[in-house]
Amino acid sequence: MDFYGFPRPDGQVGARNFIGILPAVGCVNAVALQIERLIKGTRAITHHQGCLHPPQDTEQVTRTLINLGKNPNCAGVLVVGLGCEMVKIEEVVEGIRESKKPVDAVVVHELGGMLETINKGAQIAADMVMEASKIRREKSGFDKLVFCTKCGSSDTTSGLSSNLVVGEVCKMLTDMGGTFIQGEVCDIMGGEYALKDLCVNPKEGDKIVGFVKDLYERGLAVGADTRGCQMTAGNVAGGLTTLVEKAMGANSKGQMVPIQSALLYGERPQCAGRHIMATPGHGFENLTGGAAGGSQLILFTTGRGAPNGHPVIPAVKICGNAKTNLTMKSHIDIDVASVINETETVRQAGERLFELAVDVASGRMTKAEILNFDGHMEILIKGPVM
């Protein structure tokens, strides 16, 4: 089992090799989508942010756009701007340029409209695709791998099987010098002190506790107790009794692996090992956070069958519910119900998942990719929207 990826000038290794068409603001999504339709080998990375934010959100959106552009799955990036957005187009371009990959920008106001921008943008993208298509996959070390994780449409099997299996992969990957990013502050809620105990540096643990407190306080500001909102009727019907129980099941995606740092949303880790990022549970923003963190792919556990992927990173769907593995077969990449039936140990299933993940990082397509169920994403903002 070897990892074959696309080498990038900054030493990262990509699992995919497309040209990202990245709107600086949601207003020009239509332009990015047209360029994607015209030019093979491009990927529109559309979202709905970039303007009328408080300064903290402009900073967060800018950081996320830059780091999405730096994701090793992008061979090059064409930034599409409108010309009046709060996010500074030049700042995004210069930020991505640090990765030494090809990057350029087209601005609708400067070029005089949509059709002119599509024309110029498509020409630039076509040249970038030609160059990118010359890059060949090379055998690369496992230390170049960065995986992120999330659970979606979870049920009681998530904490008993798929999350534990991902935790096993976290152990294997970090033992081999790779990087693992975990998030979902809402799911951490109740288990933040268990995570703090795993932090190499207590200051990072305080940050994780702070992520939870921030979510709680922001909920209270709009009159919601986010502790109560977390437990769905489905969770209770499925047998989950308390928030701490739910959080411990979610936390097991990293098992007892030590935590190196707590990351801001969309921030890149500074070292290998396990990290906790301030991502929400909501998939559209969550996967974007992991992609901006530099992940080549996401290990996405599900109980009832969450089908969606992400434009920048392939999503490997892992399911421990035997029934869902039958009814949602066309969306599940790996069946780990064996862990519940005890026909396989968590370790054995983890080895199987690690092998699949390395295959996907080396080019094997996921169900969400094959089904084109991966076109949408969002960038997290705290608001208020103005």
Partner 1 sequence: MKKYAKLVKVGDNVVTSVADIGENETFIVKTENGEKSYKSNQKVDFGHKIAVEEIKKGEQILKYGQEIGIATADIKVGDWVHIHNVRDNYEVK
Q: Which residues bind partner 1 (CB under 8 A)?
A: 155-157, 160, 189-191, 194, 209, 212-213, 216, 227, 236, 238-245, 248-249, 252, 340, 342
How near is the Cβ of 307 to partner 1 at its closest, in Å?
Answer: 22
Do 48 and 26 touch, CB atoms closer than 8 A? yes
CA–CA distance, 184 with 222 (Å, rounded to integer): 20
DSSP letter string over 101-140?
S-EEEEEHHHHTSHHHHHHHHHHHHHHHHHHHTT---EEE
In 10 A of CB 29, how many CB atoms? Answer: 17
Do 318 and 333 touch, CB atoms closer than 8 A? yes
How near is the Cβ of 256 to partner 1 at its closest, in Å?
Answer: 10
Question: Judged by CB, which is closer to partner 1: 151, or 298?
Answer: 151
End-to-end CA distance of the chain: 51
Question: Judged by CB, which is closer to partner 1: 252, or 260?
Answer: 252
Calculated CA dihedral for residues 131, 137, 140, 145, nearest 10 degrees? 80
Question: Judged by CB, which is closer to partner 1: 41, or 238?
Answer: 238
Question: Judged by CB, which is closer to partner 1: 243, or 263?
Answer: 243
Question: Judged by CB, which is closer to partner 1: 54, or 238?
Answer: 238
DSSP at 385: -
Calculated CA dihedral for residues 338, 339, 345, 347, nearest 10 degrees? 110
Indicate the burial class of 296 (C-beta count within 10 angstroms; 0-12, 13-18, 19 or more).
buried
How near is the Cβ of 209 to partner 1 at its closest, in Å?
Answer: 8
How near is the Cβ of 204 to partner 1 at its closest, in Å?
Answer: 18
CA atoms within 13 A on the CB side of 272: 15
How near is the Cβ of 262 to partner 1 at its closest, in Å?
Answer: 17
How near is the Cβ of 298 to partner 1 at its closest, in Å?
Answer: 24
CA–CA distance, 15 with 37 (Å, rounded to integer): 22
Q: How far is CA 340 from CA 22, 324, 386, in A?
A: 42, 14, 48
Question: Judged by CB, which is closer to partner 1: 236, or 385?
Answer: 236
Question: Judged by CB, which is closer to partner 1: 189, or 298?
Answer: 189
How near is the Cβ of 278 to partner 1 at its closest, in Å?
Answer: 15
CA–CA distance, 297 with 285 (Å, rounded to integer): 15
Question: Judged by CB, which is closer to partner 1: 4, or 216?
Answer: 216
How near is the Cβ of 25 to partner 1 at its closest, in Å?
Answer: 35
How near is the Cβ of 234 to partner 1 at its closest, in Å?
Answer: 11
Question: Judged by CB, which is closer to partner 1: 240, or 262?
Answer: 240
CA–CA distance, 273 with 23 (Å, rounded to integer): 31
Q: Residue 317, SS3?
A: strand
DSSP at 330: G
